[in-house]
Amino acid sequence: MKFFISSCTSLLWVVFLVSCMADEESSEEAVEEEDALNADDSKEFCYDDSKGCGPRNWPGSCQGGQYQSPINLPYDPRDHRRNARLADLSQSNNYFNEQRFNLTNNGHTVQVSLQDDLTSTCLLDGSLLNNQPYVFSQLHFHWGSSDDRGSEHTLTNGGYNYAFPMEAHLVHYSAEFNSFTEALNSNKYGAIAVVGVFFEPADRDNNALTPIINAMRNVRNPKTKTGGSRLNLSWFLFQSDQKDVDIIQYYGSLTTPNCNEGVLWNVVAFPAPISYRQMRSFRTMVLDSEGKNLVNNYRPIQPTNSNRKIYAVRSSVKRRQN
Ligand SMILES: [Zn+2]
């Protein structure tokens, strides 16, 4: 009997070792892909001001820019509905169809890009975006080490500021340009449009996040990339069956160096759910460049100067067949 138990134990050890070896193999694959990553992603900045690379020392417009992001956004749902300009936000076919994606840990965040070139078809437009089509470029996240921090924007209502544990940014560029970089370098107002989505803790998993979290286990180390299954951007953007969303719109900046201005921000005021378990995955599954859990990757709130216009927009979401 003793022998039986010990041979079972050794069998378990063999199974364990084989599975470890398999794990090692997949992480090696990920490291090999490191070289293929865009050199832009390796710019050395961090979120910790006790080191030289924190937000206080970020370069470019990050210092001295007049229209920086993120900011505190005033939001009173009753006022919002009374004063809101009505607009529509249309999504083309490929925005609401499932797409194959890649996930990258660039040391600052996890970032989703689409595998297929859908630059002519994965579009957002509508009067919310001044009827200009915008091409989806990438989607990434900012999150905190606890539930009271993590979002970049905050909402202010009745004298209180609300931060959320996570905020997603869906980055787009105007279809008049050939690439995100070309749009950025144009310095034109509205060349880049970002949709911001807050997440709030909930008991049930948010299925829109599942494919991303599943892929996260393959990008534990910074500068690694993996292929994901399929992702529906539309689910991501507008949760459940909401047809109308409150959006807060203003002109600000990128929230990472060089903090380029002229970015058209569209922050969805109503948070999407993320389960506690899923939130824990973000906090523990990916490492930063120092080998620590990647958390608190949000830029602090920037001053809102007095002549800055912040619009309330009540937006109806439409689907357009292309
Ligand atoms: Zn961002």
Query: What is the 170 CA–ligand 1 centroid distance (Å)?
Result: 8
Report whether pLDDT(147) > 90: yes
pLDDT at residue 240, rounded to an integer: 52
Span 146-171, average pLDDT:
95
Give distance in angstroms: CA of 168 to centre of ligand 1. Answer: 7
Q: Give the rounded percent of residues in the chain with a pLDDT score beyond 90.
A: 65
Sorting pLDDT into bands at 50, 70 and 90, what band is 36? very low
Q: What is the pLDDT of residue 242?
A: 64
Total domain count, the chain: 1
**Shortest CA distance to 222 belongs to which of 37, 15, 50, 11?**
37
Give the pLDDT of residue 24.
35
Separation of CA 109 and ligand 1 centre (Å)? 9
Q: What is the mean pLDDT of the chain?
A: 85
Question: In which residue are the tokens 């020392």 written?
Answer: 57
Query: How far is CA 129 from each of CA 175, 250, 270, rounded to the nearest angstrom?
Result: 12, 11, 19
DSSP 87-98: EEEEEEHHHHS-
Distance CA 271, CA 164 (A): 8
Q: Which of 108, 140, 153, 169 is catalytic?
A: 108
C-alpha angle 181-184-188 in degrees, rounded to nearest 5: 145
Q: What angle do CA 27, 277, 241 make, to 5 degrees?
A: 110
Give a yes or no: residue 14 inside a domain.
no
User: What pLDDT score was predicted for residue 83?
Assistant: 79
Mean pLDDT of 105-109: 97
Asked if residue 67 is part of any domain, the answer here is: yes
**What confidence tens digit (pLDDT) does each residue in 181-194 have?**
999 999 999 999 99
Q: How far apart are alpha carbons 128 and 245 in whole angstroms?
A: 11
Say if 1 falls within a structural domain. Answer: no
Is residue 305 in some structural domain? Answer: yes
Pairwise CA distance, residues 151 & 197, whole Å = 9
Does the residue 25 lie in any domain?
A: no
In this structure, the number of other CB atoms found within 10 A of the CB of residue 275 comes to 17
Residue 252's pLDDT is what?
97
Does residue 172 have an active-site annotation? no
Q: How far is the CA of 76 from the centre of ligand 1 (A)?
A: 24
pLDDT of residue 211: 96
| Averaged pLDDT for residues 36-59 | 78
Any domain includes 189: yes
Question: Does any domain span residue 12?
Answer: no
- State the CATH number of the domain containing residue 268: 3.10.200.10
> Ligand 1 centre from 151 Cα, in Å?
9
The closest of 80, 213, 229, 53 to 157, measured between CA atoms, is 80
Q: What are phi and psi of 18, to 5 degrees?
A: -60, -40
Residue 205 has pLDDT above 50, yes or no: yes
pLDDT > 90? residue 114:
yes
pLDDT score recorded for residue 17: 38
The pLDDT value recorded for residue 159 is: 83
Residue 34, pLDDT above cutoff 80: no
Q: Is residue 35 predicted with pLDDT exceeding 50?
A: no
Note the pLDDT tens digit of each residue in 242-277: 678 889 999 999 999 999 999 999 999 989 999 999
Domain of 311 in residue numbering reads as 37-320
Residue 186 included in any domain: yes
The predicted pLDDT at position 236 comes to: 73
pLDDT score at 39: 40
Q: How far is the CA of 105 from the centre of ligand 1 (A)?
A: 14
Residue 7 clears pLDDT 60, i.e. is over it: no
